[in-house]
Chain A
Amino acid sequence: MKKLMLIASAAAIGLMAGAATAQDQVEIVYIPKNTGNPYFDSIIGGFADACAELGCSFTTVAPATAEATSQIPFITAQIQRGVDVIAISPNSPDALNQVFDRARSRGIQVLIVNSDIPGSEDHRDAAILPVDFTTIGPAQVELLGSMINYDGEIAILSATTDAPDQNVWIADMQTVLESDDAYADMELVTIAYGDDDPQKSTTEAEALLANYPDLAGIISPTTVGVAAAAQVVETAGRAPDLQVTGLGTPNQMRRFIENGTVEAFQLWSPYNQGVLAAHFAMGVNDGSITNEPGQTFDVPNLGTITIGDDNVILTQDQPTTFNADNIDDFNF
């Protein structure tokens, strides 16, 4: 009986302490594009681990679909909950501007994570990007070039025709293919769009194989596309004469690396993005970081980070290349 009361009072104290710390702790919420997306689960992992270390309270909520407006009720609810920081990977570059403004007018820090909102930079405090996006195009071309001896027809399988990040990378790829003599023998024959839908991406990849029998390589700078392209090449038995590379997650691509369909692909660390975003948010919140371009701050394991123009913060400079040698070191 005594023991029971002890437990009860301990629980009561615990509850009160919980309530007290919840008051004091900085509350960070992260809203990914949608649930069930393993890529964003890694970002969540980064946030959670960093918050455990830094002593912030972290939650994550997400809509079921990545439709342009589906995140709005969630943001409004978080404003009502009075969180301190809303970190979000937005489903639209502009449809959320109104609600972002409302959050910021209540003193909430709005951080964009994973891709910026071009043209709407005024509506957020800062953007955490995984990598310097200007390096993606050239790095992908170089990777594929090294796999096909810098010779032959290549194609690109992208997401949608209007995907902003992909379009920047593709433009960079085209520039480097034309301007750099090392790629003089590589000919970009077409750009296909699979809308980030497995079915459409697969059909588009199959059409690439049918339309260009001499195709030597496919670059797919989107996780759904590169998996679909690899699956199609494996089904058609065209590896290694037809090389596939792109941006993919290790777990999604592991099988193709192991069975030799894909030699190498690239990405960055979504986990580190979460870590960086949590450190930045906490620093700004306690005043140790000034959110101004040119300012720097340190993050354990990530080194010194500089806030760039337009308050854009890069997690790493170059994409990471995954191949048979290192893929077992990654699990996301």
Chain B
Amino acid sequence: MSATETFDAAKARPLWHRIVVRPESVTLLLLIAAVFVSAWLSPFFADLRFVLESATFYIEFGIIALMLTLVVVSGEIDLSVAATMALSACLFGIAHRAGLGMPVAILIGLGSGALMGLFNGVLVTVFRLPSIIATIGTMVLYRGIAQVIAGDRSVGGFPDWFVGIDFIAVGIVPVPVIIFVVLAILLGLVLGSTLFGRQIYQTGTNPIAARHAGIRVDRLKMILFTASGLTSAVGGLLMASRLGVVRYDLATGGELQVVLIVMLGGTYIFGGRGTIAGTFLALWLLIIIQTGMTVANIAIEAQLTVLGLLLILAIISANAIYAGGRR
């Protein structure tokens, strides 16, 4: 961060400019606009309880997106997150079906997720593979293994206390939403105000300089990939609880949604820039857009088109703002 900060200081942008002209403000504006458009599209939208209930369908991806933000800020990416969700959830389901008991099954689910993340980390740091390709490879691999072990069958039969976490609410706020908010605050603090967080920014801005500054870049990336796998497993378990069953094709295409959330939040795809606040806002933006279009009975093809366009627009605008700040 120090390198870019001096850069910024040299250019001496006015304070208000630095506060206002940043990708997160674009996200916030879009969020506000989306709320109004959705309310205009359908009279059924403006109902906080409904929006919060619908939020539970996307919250799993939001939780993963929070951790992926750290990965992207460090200059890497993890496209295997949805496949990791599916495989860890399937391993959890199969462990439970084998009679291992819920605590052990949950541990297997979480542990396998962490291991899958660790494997990604090994590919990236030991074999020096670009994470973008390495995690496409593991995406196919993890999903394929899930298909082999679970077949086309749903694995279910979980105890009642485990099923339906999205139905448990504090007031009108479902538990998964609370988990998301708590994790956002925690990771926001880690990224924003700890030494580790500063090291993530430095690594993403300039890995070579970071290495010279004594940061153990490989270890840092290994930790982030493992954490990403672990968070994906948490997302997988939340989904298993919400659906009451697990399947190999759980969260198919979810990597697109997760990447979309991170990009919408203004995180710089080349690393070094981005905030948890942006990702937090972006998740709500996505929830509002998808829920608003669905409750307005807008056909799915239009929804796909809007999502694809949004992703491209988000990276273009973030890129433009960062480039403007540097020039």
Instruction: Output the residue of A74, A77, A94 with the most chain B CB within 10 A.
Output: A77
Contact A72 B164 (CB under 8 A): no
Contacting residues of chain A (73-95) with chain B, CB-CB under 8 angstroms: 73-74, 76-77, 80-82, 92-95
- Residue among B42, B53, B249, B250 with the highest chain A CB neighbour number at 10 A: B249
- In the complex, what's the smallest C-beta–C-beta distance from A115 to chain B, in angstroms? 15
Contact of B300 among A64, A92, A163 (CB under 8 A): A64
A53 within 8 A of B: no
- Is B243 at the interface (CB under 8 A from chain A)? yes
Contact B57 A62 (CB under 8 A): no
Q: Does A160 contact B (CB under 8 A)?
A: yes
Cross-interface CB contact of A95 among B50, B247, B251, B300, cutoff 8 Å: B247
Check if B297 sits within 8 Å of A97, measured CB to CB.
no
Q: Is B36 an interface residue (CB 8 A)?
A: no
Separation of A233 and B50 alpha carbons in the complex (Å): 53
Q: How many of chain B's residues have a CB under 8 angstroms from any CB in A?
A: 35
Question: If the complex has contacts A62-B300, A64-B300, are A163 and B152 also in contact, measured as CB distance less than 8 A?
Answer: yes
Indicate if the CB atoms of B250 and A68 lie closer than 8 Å.
yes
The answer to whether A81 and B44 touch across the interface, beta carbons within 8 angstroms, is yes
Indicate if A61 sits at the interface (CB-CB under 8 A). yes
Q: Tell me the smallest distance from the CB of A124 to a CB of chain B, in Å.
A: 15
Task: State whether B152 touches A160 (Cβ < 8 A).
Answer: yes
Contact code string B229-262 (vs A, CB < 8 Å = 1, else 0): 0000000000100111101011111000000000
B294 touches A73 (CB 8 A): yes
Q: B167 at the A/B interface (Cβ < 8 Å)?
A: yes
A74 vs B163: C-alpha distance when bound (angstroms): 21
Interface: B33 (CB within 8 A) = no
Is residue A161 contacting chain B, with contact meaning CB distance below 8 A? yes
Q: How far is the CA of A92 from the CA of B245 in the complex (A)?
A: 10
B172 to chain A, nearest CB (A): 14
Chain A nearest Cβ from B157, distance in angstroms: 10
Interface residue A69 (Cβ < 8 Å from any Cβ of B): yes
CB-CB under 8 A for A98 and B164, given A35-B299, A67-B252, A92-B247:
yes
Chain B residues near A94 (CB-CB < 8 A): 154, 156, 244-245
* Distance between Cα atoms of A160 and B47 in the complex (Å): 41
Residue of B nearest to A72 (CB): B57
B5 at the binding interface (Cβ < 8 Å): no
| CB-based nearest A residue for B153 | A162
Interface of A is mostly: loop
Nearest B residue to A75, CB-CB: B294
The answer on a CB contact under 8 Å between A77 and B291 is: yes
CB–CB A161/B152 < 8 A: yes
Q: Is B107 an interface residue (CB 8 A)?
A: no
Interface positions of A from 82 to 130, Cβ below 8 Å from B: 82, 92-95, 97-98
Q: Are A95 and B245 in contact (CB under 8 A)?
A: yes
Interface residues of A in 56-74 (CB under 8 A from B): 59, 61-65, 67-69, 72-74
Contact residue among A69, A80, A97, A162 (Cβ-Cβ distance under 8 Å from B250) = A69
Q: Complex Cα distance A95/B89, Å? A: 14
State A65–B252 Cα separation when bound (angstroms). 9
Question: For residue A72, which residues in chain B have a CB less than 8 angstroms away from its CB?
Answer: 57
Please name the residue on chain A nearest to B49 by beta carbon: A80
Known: A73-B294, A94-B154, A95-B154. A64 touches B304 (CB 8 A): yes
Alpha-carbon separation in the docked complex, A195 to B57 (Å): 27
Q: Which residues of A contact B167 (CB under 8 A)?
A: 98
- A73–B297 Cα distance when bound, in Å, is 11
Residue in B152, B253, B291 whose CB lies within 8 Å of A65: B253
**Nearest-CB distance from A66 to chain B (Å)?**
9
The chain A residue sitting closest to B292, CB to CB, is A77
Are B243 and A98 closer than 8 Å at their CB atoms? yes
Q: How many Å from the CB of B83 to the closest CB on chain A? A: 14
Which of chain B's residues have a CB closer than 8 A to the CB of A77?
44, 54, 291, 294-295, 297
Knowing A68-B247, A77-B294, A92-B154, say if A98 contacts B300 (CB, 8 Å): no
Q: When each residue 146-166 of chain A gets 1 if its CB lies under 8 Å from chain B and 0 otherwise, what string results?
A: 000000000000001111000
**Known A76-B53, A77-B291, A98-B244: A63·B300 in contact at CB below 8 Å:** yes
Kindly supply a per-residue 1/0 record for chain A positions 235-273, scoring 1 wherever the CB is within 8 Å of any chain B CB and 0 otherwise.
000000000000000000000000000000000000000
Q: Which of A59, A80, A161 contacts B47 (CB 8 A)?
A: A80
Bound state CA distance, A76 and B242, in angstroms? 13
| Contact present for B244 and A74 (CB under 8 Å) | no
Instruction: List, in ascending order, chain B residues with CB within 8 A of A161's CB.
Output: 151-152
Contacts of A63 in B (CB 8 A): 300
In the complex, B84 has a CB within 8 A of chain A: no
Q: Does B202 contact A (CB under 8 A)?
A: no
Interface residues of A, Cβ cutoff 8 Å to B: 35, 59, 61-65, 67-69, 72-74, 76-77, 80-82, 92-95, 97-98, 160-163, 195
- Pick the 9 closest A-B CB pairs, nearest first: A162-B152, A160-B152, A77-B295, A77-B294, A64-B300, A95-B243, A162-B153, A80-B50, A67-B252
21 residue pairs from A and B, CB less than 8 Å apart: A62-B300, A64-B300, A65-B252, A65-B253, A67-B249, A68-B247, A69-B250, A73-B54, A77-B291, A77-B295, A80-B44, A80-B47, A81-B42, A81-B295, A92-B245, A95-B154, A97-B244, A160-B151, A162-B151, A162-B153, A163-B152
Given A72-B57, A95-B247, 7 more pairs with CB closer than 8 A = A59-B297, A61-B297, A61-B300, A63-B300, A68-B245, A81-B297, A98-B243
Q: Which residues of B contact A (CB under 8 A)?
A: 42, 44, 47, 50, 53-54, 57, 151-154, 156, 163-164, 167, 239, 242-245, 247, 249-253, 290-291, 294-295, 297, 299-301, 304
